[in-house]
Amino acid sequence: MNGQNRKDIKPGLEVYIVLKKDQRTGQKTRGIVKDLLTNSSFHPHGIKVRLTDGQVGRVCEIIEK
């Protein structure tokens, strides 16, 4: 599942994000969502989140258990 819809993302969810510094390479970082930073219900590049370790990036993939 992609991370473009805010309704699909909740704190505690495990996701892959792309950090700002990795946007050119597309390298993914795995983590657990702490806060949702995008206010709109949809974003074409992914909803911006803060992970529990403090890293901020856009969700590119939701890890389903």
- Reduced 3-state DSSP string for the chain: CCCCEHHHCCCCCEEEEEEHHHCCCCCCEEEEEEEECCCCCECCCCCEEEECCCCEEEEEEECCC
Domains in the chain, start-ordered, CATH in brackets?
6-62 (2.30.30)
Q: What is the pLDDT along the chain (65 residues), one digit of tens a residue?
A: 899 999 999 999 999 999 999 999 999 999 999 999 999 999 999 999 999 999 999 999 999 87
Q: Supply the pTM of this predicted model.
A: 0.92
Q: By the 8 A CB rule, do 7 and 59 touch?
A: no
Report the C-alpha gap between 64 and 29 in whole angstroms: 16
